[in-house]
Amino acid sequence: MASIVHLAGRFFGSLRPGGPPRTEVDVVRTELGPAEFEIWSGMSGPDRRHSVGVAARVRGILGPDADRSVMAAALLHDSGKVDSGLRTPGRVVATVMAGLVKHDETTIRRWAVGGGYRRRIGLYLLHPERGAEHLESAGSDPLTVAWTLQHHLPRADCTLDQRLADALRVADND
Ligand SMILES: [Fe+2]
Ligand SMILES: [Fe+2]
């Protein structure tokens, strides 16, 4: 589990606006299809910075086995967060509230179709599913869609090749 210092560093880092440098954006453009790049471009600056970090770590772990679909999974796994409209402080509230309020999947789905702030929290908690739906519509590779859908599931519930899934998980949790 990440240390509190590490988590605090990530929190304060995610408060800084702005995406990755132009040179990294140009690389991302070559790694994604046009529709995927449009989805990536709609992500928040901190989420885009996070995504290029995950992609770089995955490439470092897998080397040439990090094919196009794996790189797209690294870059787009959190793309569904856009739907909630929540930025870092709101996401912290959503995460804390989800921990404090007794809820199951039915509750989250009710929040997501309701109104007000609960709707945003519900959408945030459903970001794997929302992202997977958007990527499927964009014609992404099935592996990219599957990892986006499964990236918060326990290891045992993951249907991907375990070596690829482990690399993506480690890179995301760094
Ligand atoms: Fe996520
Ligand atoms: Fe992530």
Torsion sign across C-alpha atoms 56, 60, 63, 67: negative
Q: Quick one: which ligand is closest to 76's CA?
A: 2
Q: Quick one: which ligand is closest to 172's CA?
A: 2
Ligand 2 centroid to residue 116 C-alpha, Å: 25
Q: Quick one: which ligand is closest to 53's CA?
A: 2
Q: What is the CA radius of gyration of the chain?
A: 16
Q: What is the pLDDT of residues 137-161, one digit of tens each?
A: 999 999 999 999 999 999 999 999 9
Query: At a CB cut-off of 8 Å and minimum separation 6, what does 41 contact?
Result: 48
Ligand 1 centroid to residue 128 C-alpha, Å: 6
Tokens in use for 49?
Answer: 């910075």
Q: What is the pLDDT of residues 82-124, one digit of tens each?
A: 999 898 888 888 888 878 877 788 988 999 998 888 899 999 9
pTM of the model: 0.89
Query: At a CB cut-off of 8 Å and minimum separation 6, what does 53 contact?
Result: 171, 174
Domain edges within the chain: 4-173
Query: At a CB cut-off of 8 Å and minimum separation 6, what does 64 contact?
Result: none
The secondary structure of residue 115, as a DSSP letter, is -
Quote the CA–CA distance of 157 and 18 in Å, as a whole number: 35
Q: Phi and psi for 173 in degrees, rounded to 5?
A: -90, -5
Q: Quick one: which ligand is closest to 94's CA?
A: 1
